[in-house]
Amino acid sequence: MTQAKFIQRGAASFSVDTSGPAKVFYFVLLPKMTMLAFSSALEPLRIANQLSQKTLYEWYTMTPDGAPVTCSNGVTITPDMALDTIPKDATVFVCSGVEPGKAASADVLNWIRRNHRTGTQMGGICTGAFALAQAGIIGKSRFTLHWENQPAFSELFPDLVPTQNLYEIEDRLITCGGGNAATDLMLDLIERDHGSDIALVIADMCIHKRSNDRSAPQKSSLSVAIGSRNQKLLHAIQVMSQTVEEPLPLLDLCDTLGISRRQLERLFKKYTHQSPTQFYYGLRLERAHALLNETNLTITEIAAATGFNSTSHLARQYRSKYGVPPNAFRKAWGAGQG
């Protein structure tokens, strides 16, 4: 590759004192990957080179067969190459997006395993952790992935527990939750390589307010989401979220919270405009919807995973919320994707 690919001219500049070799990244682009997460990871590397007018970083894109890949937004990207032998000291990021459980072929998983065995640092962007888990390389490392896809991931890999953090950096494994979290991840890596000053300038170039904390949560705080800081209400929703698979009877929930049923009902009516039961059902149906979309679990298995005592019970509640029963939704979606 020519230097022109890696260094662009720009008005801003930043002096970096380095004479070492460029750090090399390979981005494995899987079908229906999220373009936002990929570009958010790539741009800080480009800007670092532009500011310094040095090739601090090189990057290459790969697809399983070298053919163009279509992102989840319908945009097609032409890669640099097919999966091939890469330098041992490179870092690989698997970029995935929607339907992540189906994105990585057997060839991709074997390629990940081979490179992991030789000591290559591996990573996952957005939902890339699905492929890393399928390849069996996560082990006991801390890792994360996009919050939307964590319920399905947990059903498929019950022994692997992702964090809720923006990103995680381990010796052999680097992951992030997608979106702008990929920028925070790369800024952290750049700061480790070349200092905090250039990382700050790169963040400004991206017009990105850096979190400066990889343990920052991916989602807005619950209090912001519901517009209340009432601790009893927040605790109630937290307990509900943690007991989706085995929902608590309302009176047991009240006992856990140490409040009366009447008080609980008033809180939910005031801040969510729903009864506690309706809100609880909503959480469980959202989980069922995610599992329908992103796993091959049967309707029976999904009903069990979301606390419904039968498929018919799930079907009635699901239809009430989404307009169609779960089996019809899955059939129609599958036909539309064919």
Q: What is the CATH number of the domain that holds 90?
A: 3.40.50.880
Domains in the chain, number: 2
63 and 23 inside one domain = yes
Specify the pLDDT at position 257: 92
Q: Is residue 211 part of a domain?
A: no
Specify the pLDDT at position 338: 40
User: 246-271 b/e with 16+ CB inside 10 Å = b?
Assistant: ebbeeeebbeebebeeeebbebbeeb
228 and 325 inside one domain = yes
Q: Is residue 217 part of a domain?
A: no
Those residues with Cβ within 8 angstroms of residue 249's Cβ, 6 or more apart along the chain or in another chain: none
DSSP string, 64-119: SSSS-EE-TTS-EE--SEES----TT-EEEEE-BSSGGGTS-HHHHHHHHHHHHTT
199 and 227 inside one domain = no
What is the span of the domain harbouring residue 309?
A: 222-332
Element (H, E) at 176: strand 173-176
Specify the pLDDT at position 220: 63
Specify the pLDDT at position 18: 85
Specify the pLDDT at position 293: 83
191 and 72 inside one domain = yes
52 and 148 inside one domain = yes
**Residue among 258, 249, 317, 330 nearest 283 (CA):** 317
Specify the pLDDT at position 9: 85
Bridging pattern class, strands 76-77 and 81-82: unpaired
Specify the pLDDT at position 331: 80
Contact 217, 165 (CB under 8 A): yes
172 and 242 inside one domain = no
Contact 93, 27 (CB under 8 A): yes
238 and 154 inside one domain = no
20 and 159 inside one domain = yes
Q: Is residue 136 part of a domain?
A: yes
Residues in the chain with pLDDT < 50?
1, 335-336, 338
198 and 279 inside one domain = no
Q: Is residue 210 part of a domain?
A: no
Specify the pLDDT at position 64: 96
243 and 307 inside one domain = yes
Last residue of a domain, one of 205, 231, 264: 205
Output DSSP code: residue 217: B
142 and 281 inside one domain = no
